[in-house]
Structure 1
């Protein structure tokens, strides 16, 4: 039996047993022992907790726990940590070492492992081969991406077989069917073409199918379609087919007029000298119709920049139809206010209220594109369109100035005729031609951003939603709420490269029961 005896002087403690001689322990010794234990126990507790979290709870013996705690208490690391440290050292060495020319690389990681095993590669050789393989795969992916962008550019610039078929069949119908040649509009409605009590829309296009969707969607979305007048301008080769379509597919009570550029007396070489230069300039023809990859240093550009460069080289940018919008006041001298629409839009809401918008003496009612929910679409400023390293651009423009969008614009033609917008537009086009297109690359918007400076009235962004031709992540709910949705970009809804989930907003206005549409297998 163990006994504990405390001395009367309180200076010692005696522990005795019937079988063991008594032991005398001083208070000082006991105090020091307790103090040391109080200091060490927290550290033991923390280390034990760490071991437990790392899986030491799977140990089945004190010996196992000791093997885990021992190296830590002695300041040592286990083999796994040392292995990791050696591995990182080898990788660092491999990242700085030059890859030998002509090094034969395995086709896959499994082949690399097999080669390492069969050839007894050391870790450094393995790491170097792994780095070389990864760099090769990155180059291959990059080249594939550039090839994809180039192919997409050509797909976007080409005419789908079905649309080409539609134009040919309708042109043939124009020559053989008197009803397809009937006057548009009928003689008794001709005065309405210049009646400013009506709502006049202007559409410039050589795409018959796209034009039919724009007109149909606007008429079906209107609460007063009898007040709608569409002025469609097309080129000479498409005129017969375009006229046939709207002669055979009435949109009554709305009015449609189809005119070819050859039917406007005002469009002479004297009035559009810059556009003649655009179409005949050798450097310009090579830029838009030549090789889009030759001379491009793909190693020094990103896929996104390359895609933007390809888009800016679309041949439509030197088409007269694309520049006609700058001549609207002269082409329609009797009209006071019009809404201009691009052919890749869909109208989802009645646009009549646009004629009641007070532009405050400004010429162009447009949506700004420098702020909005979708940053990839609504983040455009002048720096996105112009080369500010060019001294002439840097002198006259502010790179942070907000841009605006073409595609759905309200034009006050009475105010426009009092300005020098057309002259400014021509002047800057000439300057860009003289500079060999070093001031800007992208089409008709850049010179318009300059020419309309000080003449733009900002309208609410809900009137015009952009980006459906290049932003696949467009919010569907926002699309449904927009008055006009715009498939600007390469992925047009009538092309196979169009986004499938965004296409139905456009195809709902395609008349698939029409014999011409069916026989040409449009979008099948």
Structure 2
């Protein structure tokens, strides 16, 4: 029995040792498998081998059938995208999605109240179209009221993916919007060209070194290459720009070139070197794309966020209104505000400084202002500031009436949500040319169109027969009295045609309701409206039916439905004005002829780069600043445009 017990104990110990040995073998196996998988690049998203670059490939973003931006599920979270999320921790999800696509923060305002009301473009689609892509661009106070609580985040709508065309590639402007226009004009001289060359040499040397170190008889070359790599690393650890480099750098560059040339002459396994160089290339592309996204975000943040000085101005005026309680213009000039024989100008705005410049330009350019009445429609948030401003400042004999659109009795339109301020919308449209279908690249144009609030005009001004509608990013350089007397020949809306985009380009998006595919689109900005003809054709009713058709209940389609509904509602009802009367694009186009600007009746700063922003186009700012109110105490105290 004793011997049996000893044998049993010995057997138990042997089994214990077998399990222990197996565990050790497994541990050794996995300890070898992990670094092996790292070296072979079998992990997810990290650089391969011993490369030290801390970039990783970007996750790919795709559009589904509805145009919604999605991240490719076949890849893990990219560290670049994680950095982007860390860079904007407090922003709404819509804005972060917008940045993922690189939208021009109609940062779609792209606009200006957009923290920005537009950042770069969260996308939600409404249709699929093989020939065009439509993105909303945030513009000034032209934002959906529901976005105010989000600091005006703009939402973009993708109608088609450029990848529908074989070999098509997104242009910078298509992907990043008006940021690309701005960045080209403000491209800085490279101050680290030599530093970048050193990095390139270092990358190539690192790719060759592992293969050279394994070759028999190349010990001296391997030692030389290792020494050059260490010297380059030492130099780059202390230098950011070319000015930081030591004077002997040219010698080091020449020495590294000779070493790499020797390595290139050796017989090495090309697949290994190719793989490492491809990894370096991919990492560099990813890093470049990340910095483009980051730069686009900062640009859109700048153009879509209300500057501190303008916020200060609005708040100061609001406080002073409740202190002084100015005279009510509706009472003192009641006989004028409803007189159809006078000239009535209507402006929808949320920016007191912008609208004051527009009104001042009209008054300054008019020969007689005794018959001029301005109707300024705003929201409750800006109502008191605007009322106090125009009570403090006189504009010759013109009457200025400020209305809060949220207080108007428009109960029959409540169900459609049109009672909140929704001024003009701006859209970035990328299209293919009909006459050159073989070309895969797309061109991008910028449109400005009536918002939902414009279709309340017959309800708000029941006693008027005609009004001229302007936007707050307009300035007028000549008397508008002649234009006011234009015979519309039975049409409802006199507007400037925009023939760079035609109805046929948006055929699918407009639901096949187009009468003439070759008809030009029209631009808002300066429009003469025949209210009698509007009522006769029941344009508001037609618009609401179209709005109900294109709006599917989402916040994104609420804004984008304005494009389709406005275009179709005014179809065949537009009286074409001479295109030289109004020059558009001063908020995004750097190439407008100065003679055309000087001779134009009105200038339209549509686009992201508004003249009151630091990022505005400097060449065009002087035309806008000429009509700023001078000697205004609150502007000086808030440091407006100083």
TM-score of the superposition, structure 2-length normalised? 0.53
Task: Report how far residue 419 of structure 1 moved.
Answer: 0.8
Provide the residue aligned with 1:334 in structure 2: 463
Equivalence map 1:228-267=2 (5 Å): 228-265=372-409, 267=410
C-alpha displacement at 1:229, in angstroms? 1.0
CA shift digits 1:240-286 (9 cap, x unpaired):
11110010101121111111114422x22x3242226999xxxxxxx
Q: Is 1:275 aligned to residue 396 of structure 2?
A: no
1:9-408 matches, within 5 Å, as: 102=48, 104=51, 108-113=196-201, 115=205, 118=225, 121-122=263-264, 133-178=280-325, 181-184=326-329, 187=332, 189-265=333-409, 267-268=410-411, 270-275=412-417, 322-370=451-499, 379-382=500-503, 386=506, 388-389=507-508, 393-394=511-512, 396=514, 400-408=518-526
2:547 and 2:562 in contact (8 A); partners too? no
Paired residues of 1:105 and 1:132 also in contact (CA < 8 A): no
- Aligned partner of 1:513 in structure 2 is 631
Q: How far apart, in 2, do the equivalents of 1:275 and 1:389 lie?
A: 26
2: CA distance, partners of 1:435 / 1:177 = 43
Query: What does residue 450 of structure 1 align with?
Result: 568
- The answer to whether the aligner puts 1:429 opposite 2:571 as a matched pair is no
Distance 2:286 2:614 in 1: 28
Question: Offset at 1:341?
Answer: 0.3
In the TM superposition, what whole-angstrom CA distance separates every residue of 1:398-421 from its partner, at most 9, and x where no partner exists?
654310001110001111110121
Point out the structure with max Rg over C-alpha.
Answer: 1
**What TM-score, normalized to structure 1?**
0.65
Q: Name the SS of the counterpart of 1:122 in structure 2.
A: helix
Q: Secondary structure at the match of 2:520?
A: coil
1:438 deviation in Å? 9.2
Asked if 2 retains the 8 angstrom alpha-carbon contact of 1:512 and 1:518, the reply is: no
- Deviation string 1:350-384 (CA, Å, 9 cap, x unpaired) is 111112211110000000011xxxxxxxx222366
Tell whether the 8 Å contact from 1:192 to 1:198 is kept in structure 2 after alignment.
Answer: yes
Partner SS for 1:462? coil
Q: Is the 8 A contact 1:185 1:256 kept in 2?
A: no
Q: Secondary structure at the match of 2:583?
A: coil
Q: What are the Cα deviations for residues 60-113 of structure 1, in whole angstroms up to 9, with x where unaligned?
A: xxxxxxxxxxxxxxxxxxxxxxxxxxxxxxxxxxxxxxxx96163888332443
Distance 1:402 1:152, change over 3 A: same
Match of 1:471 in 2: 589
How far apart in 2 are the matches of 1:277 and 1:224? Answer: 34
* Cα distance in 1 between the residues matched to 2:416 and 2:487: 33
Residue of structure 2 in register with 1:10 after alignment: none
Q: What is the aligned partner in structure 2 of residue 94 from structure 1?
A: none
CA contact (8 A) 1:337 1:413 kept: yes
Take 2:556 and 2:366, find their aligned partners in 1: how far apart are those partners?
44
Distance 1:171 1:438 in 2: 31
Contact 2:406-2:419 within 8 A present in 1 as well: no
Q: Note if contact 1:105-1:129 (Cα within 8 Å) is conserved in structure 2.
A: no
- Partner SS, residue 472 of structure 2: coil
| d(CA) in 2 for partners of 1:441, 1:302 | 27
Once superposed, what is the RMSD of the aligned Cα atoms? Answer: 3.4
8 Å contact kept, 1:381–1:399: yes
SS at match of 2:389: helix
Query: Secondary structure in 2 aligned to 1:474?
Result: coil
> Are 1:217 and 1:347, in contact at CA under 8 Å, matched by a contact in 2?
yes
Contact 2:474–2:525 (8 Å) recurs in 1: yes
> SS of the residue aligned with 2:417?
helix
Cα distance, 1:396 vs. partner?
Answer: 4.4
Partner Cα distance (1:220, 1:260) in 2: 26
The aligned length equals: 378
- 1 CA distance for matches of 2:496 and 2:286? 40
SS of structure 2 residue aligned to 1:259: strand
Kindly tell me: are residues 110 and 173 of structure 1, through their superposed partners in 2, closer, same or farther at Cα, counting changes over 3 Å? same
5+ residue gaps in structure 2? 1-45, 54-194, 209-223, 227-261, 422-439
* Aligned position for 1:373: none
